[in-house]
Amino acid sequence: MSEPEARMFLEAETSFGLGLLQQLPLNESTIFSPLSIALALSLVHTGAKGNSKQQINSAICKGANDDQLKQHYSFLSSALSSPKNGVQVNIANKAFVNPKFPIKDSFLKAISSSYKADAQNLNFGDAAKSAGVINDFVKTNTKGKISELVKSNDINGDTAIFLVNALYLKADWEHEFRSTSTHDYDFHVKDGVTKKVPFMSENMVFRDYASDDKVQVLSLKYMDNAYRFNIFLPKEKFGLESYIKGLTAQKVQELLKNVKNTAILNLRIPKMKLEKEAKLIDMLKKLGVTDIFSGGADLSEMADAKVRISDATHKAIIESLQHLQQTGCNWNIVIVSRNQSDDLLHSCGGLKSPSSAIFLSSPLYFSSINSSSSFLASSLRSSCVLFCRTAYKIGYWFEDIQSVGDAENSDDADDKH
């Protein structure tokens, strides 16, 4: 891949993630994976034609042609499944097919070849059993982090196919936080509202850091330095919402490009276990993906029958511990016959300048990234933002993020973790 193409994909993925993030309620905790959502959409892209196909392309890979999009997300599916040095990544795609609606063999072969997506026939007339099979697939491929993506009432006989994407990431910190340095401190949820939550701490350490006039960025490496956990802390206390609203893909990439190991810092970072689920259709429509959810959907490369996406759900979870970080996410798309009725920055009180103290004690934005793409609003690989994973019911599903301010509501992990 040429350097201009690499920049194009990085900015396109970051822009897609920000377009989703900026629609979420930023006054509460949230988590989602733009990459999971994009990978699931790439499966739909394979079965789409005409305007339906072009709208997906413009949303997740603006500037690329159809072949470039397929090659890029096919490469990501393979490359991200081969981590090393204390990082475990599992990406799984699967099509659950209703035999009542013949899905084209050419489509199933295409998603198998490009995205390693398996196919399995299911009797959607037995909704409870079908939901159990799909959820078992999700649970297995997120290492038990997500045990339920669909419910029996999400399934009926008019459902043609479920397209499911599952992602799991487990990564050891390059520099572990000592359990003896984890203590409860005040977390400022908003002006006048404070909660006690456990914080991981380090003093007088060199870490990668960058800043501009509006934000400070702390980049924490995993054992595999291709992956990082990036924290964006607005300099204006409780200024996260206004900062995110004005953020662009170009600015994110510029800040990440400028992080350098030049700062001696005192760090205080909340332990967190965040989980959230969200519906995506309205969010994707605002990003220009509209036809696939309507009677005008052209998914004729997927099925001869007139089908559309009736629902889209995404679910993600992240857990930060002293010695590692774990994330899991799913996206589910549901395709139904067309005649069916329509359905981190923690804002901190004390992040100052380099050679000072970074206390992430108020709302902030965080992202996990890998050098080739955006994973989770939580970790990094050389210069890209990673968000979480997704699954589609043809229909469709999405999940969003839960904020660190709610960390005290989660079970505190064992200090050994």
Tens of pLDDT, residues 293-347: 998 999 999 998 888 898 888 888 776 655 555 555 555 666 554 333 232 222 2
Tens of pLDDT, residues 76-127: 888 776 667 777 777 888 899 999 888 999 999 999 999 988 899 999 999 9
Instruction: Indicate whether this model's pTM tops 0.85.
Output: no
DSSP 245: H
Rounded to 5 degrees, what are φ and ψ at 394? -80, 90
pLDDT attached to residue 326: 53
Do strands 118-121 and 87-97 pair parallel, antiparallel, or not at all (unpaired)?
Answer: parallel
pLDDT attached to residue 169: 75
**CA-based angle 226:230:233, to the nearest 5?**
165
**pLDDT at residue 260 above 60?**
yes
Go through the domains of the chain in sequence order and give each one's CATH number.
Answer: 3-172+273-343+382-403 (3.30.497.10), 179-271+346-370 (2.30.39.10)
9 vs 377: CA distance, rounded Å? 17
Rounded to 5 degrees, what are φ and ψ at 169? -130, 125
Tens of pLDDT, residues 266-300: 888 887 777 778 889 999 999 999 999 998 999 99
pLDDT attached to residue 336: 58
Category of 86 on φ-ψ map: left (φ > 0), alpha (ψ -120 to 50) or beta: left
**By the 8 A CB rule, do 54 and 124 touch?**
no
Range with the poorest average pLDDT among 138-147, 238-247, 337-346, 372-381: 337-346
Residue 391 vs residue 369, higher pLDDT: 369
Mean pLDDT in residue range 403-411: 34
Rounded to 5 degrees, what are φ and ψ at 313? -130, 140
**pLDDT at residue 50 above 60?**
yes
